[in-house]
Amino acid sequence: MPLRKESTEDDLEMLSGSSSKKTRSVILAKAKNRLSLVNLSNVFTVFLSSDRKLQKKIVELAQDKDSYFGNLVRDYRVYSLETMVKQSSSTEMLQEIRLMMTQLKSYLVQSTELKSLIDPASYTEEQLEVIAETALYKCVLKPLKEAINSSLKDIHTKDGSLQQLKENQLVIQNTTTTDLGITTSVPETVVLEKILHKFAAMHKTYSPEKKIAILLKTCKLIYDSMAQGNPGKPYGADDFLPVLMYVLARSNLTEVLLNVEYMMELMDPALQLGEGSYYLTTTYGVLEHIKNYDKITVTRQLSMEVQDSIHRWERRRTLNKARASRSSDFICISFLEIGGQSRTLASRHDTTAEQLSQQCAEKFEVSHPKDYGLFVYVDDQCLQLDKDALPHHIKASLLKSETKKDFHFIYKPIDHKTPPVPIVKESDFS
């Protein structure tokens, strides 16, 4: 259904966007098409609207500073922004983000916070996961999208991919369709413009699922133009790949590369199979092909490179699924004082204060970690964490406490002179 819904929206966009140029008959056809879509989607309006409402509630929960989920989402965004700039591998960077989204989702679906929003009996866990996934696109990916894109661009500028694509793009543009292996018609200028318009729309949207839906529409446009003059003939991959290469060589390859990686790594790992997966794989393959176009002799070298990259993709996805079940959490820790330099650290729920201190020592590059300890300020009272205390539990308890408490975790030197700081081990702040 979301797909159907999207096509309605997309057609609306197209209608309002460039209606002046269209002839009346085209508009009529479009309107007719739209009407039939509206009729179809009406059937599901009730279903859709309750899902949408829940989605909206989740987004609101994520923006609520007093909710535990809201805190998680915020800490997560901070953490992502911090780590993103340090990554040298695009896939690792995106994987990190996907992993945390999956963790946020698994927390949310099991949380009492969500259960208080809905009648749990009316949704299966799977339905909740689908709704939570879409909500997370909005509250996590939307605000991060620009940063993600610029980091990806940096990474691929450094590793030379963008340059390679750019050089080969020109080569391919100057290659005849015959030499590219094309045996069908290619998209005419008007269709090509339409395709490029779709690619631009794909780049604008932040939802990986929506991007994939747009990718499928562009593939459909390509097929339609291939069939010009020879309708009804089934065109397979032999025919499609060269034409896709022709089309991509006329697009903004940087954007396409970023989008393909974004979709591959950030889409819900549970949605691997199907048509979207096929065309995403194919687009990725053609991009690799373009990137290595100049090298195409009969070497196995290239083959191994490409094989390897896709193999790693599959491995990562499997790995990601397995890792997602181990839940972890985020905690924001300031160095030396409230409002000082701070880091958001990801660690498992059952991490002890001692383990977290070690992480802090690395992050803040402390030379004598033994002299430092983890503290929490609760409403101006300073407490030192026992080495076996569980910071995540303390944080959860503080967030849940009936009287709202102002609290900060601080990593600072242990001071032995002043009256001893109370040590906290249990996590009851209610």
Partner 1 sequence: MQISWFLQKIQFCLENCNLSQTFHFSDTGVGKSSIVWRFVEDSFDPNINPTIGASFMTKTVQYQNELHKFLIWDTAGQERFRALAPMYYRGSAAAIIVYDITKEETFSTLKNWVKELRQHGPPNIVVAIAGNKCDLNDVREVMEKDAKDYADSIHAIFVETSAKNAININELFIEISRRIPSTDTNPPSSGKGFKLRRQPSVTKRSCC
CB of 58 to partner 1, least distance (A): 18
CB of 309 to partner 1, least distance (A): 9
Residue 269 has phi, psi (to 5 degrees) of -55, -25
Amino acid identity of residue 314, one-letter, is E
Tokens of 385: 């964490």
Which CB, 314 or 362, lies closer to partner 1? Answer: 314
Which CB, 88 or 301, lies closer to partner 1? Answer: 301
Token pair 């181990």 in the structure block, residue: 326
Which CB, 149 or 272, lies closer to partner 1? Answer: 272
Count other C-beta atoms under 10 Å from residue 329's C-beta: 24
CB of 389 to partner 1, least distance (A): 39
Strand order in the sheet with 328-335: 342-348, 328-335, 407-413, 372-378, 381-385, 423-424
319 within 8 A of 91, measured Cβ to Cβ:
no
The helices-and-strands tally (H runs, E runs) of the chain is 18, 6
CB of 269 to partner 1, least distance (A): 10
CB of 307 to partner 1, least distance (A): 4
Which CB, 281 or 427, lies closer to partner 1? Answer: 281
Which CB, 306 or 332, lies closer to partner 1? Answer: 306
What element of type H or E holds 330? strand 328-335
CB of 295 to partner 1, least distance (A): 10
CB of 234 to partner 1, least distance (A): 4
Residue 378 has phi, psi (to 5 degrees) of -115, 115
β-strand partners of 412:
373
Burial 211-238 (b: 16+ CB within 10 A, else e): bbbbbbbbbebbeebbbeeeeeeeeeee
Q: Which residues bind partner 1 (CB under 8 A)?
A: 126, 130, 178, 181, 183, 216, 219-220, 223, 230, 233-241, 270-275, 278-279, 281-282, 284-285, 288-289, 296, 298, 302-303, 306-307, 310-311, 314, 318
Which CB, 245 or 394, lies closer to partner 1? Answer: 245
Which CB, 285 or 373, lies closer to partner 1? Answer: 285
184 within 8 A of 239, measured Cβ to Cβ:
yes
- Sequence-distant (6+) residues with CB within 8 A of 223 are 235, 240
Which CB, 303 or 430, lies closer to partner 1? Answer: 303
Tokens of 328: 């972890």
Amino acid identity of residue 21, one-letter, is K
CB of 103 to partner 1, least distance (A): 18
CB of 190 to partner 1, least distance (A): 20
342 three-class SS = strand
CB of 63 to partner 1, least distance (A): 27
d(CA 344, CA 191): 48
Which CB, 234 or 420, lies closer to partner 1? Answer: 234
Report CA 51 to chain centroid distance, whole Å.
Answer: 21
Bridge-based pairing of strands 381-385 and 372-378 is: antiparallel
CA pseudo-torsion sign 64, 69, 75, 80: negative
CB of 34 to partner 1, least distance (A): 19
β-strand partners of 239:
none
d(CA 15, CA 34): 10
What is the length of the chain?
430
Which CB, 69 or 293, lies closer to partner 1? Answer: 293
Which CB, 178 or 325, lies closer to partner 1? Answer: 178
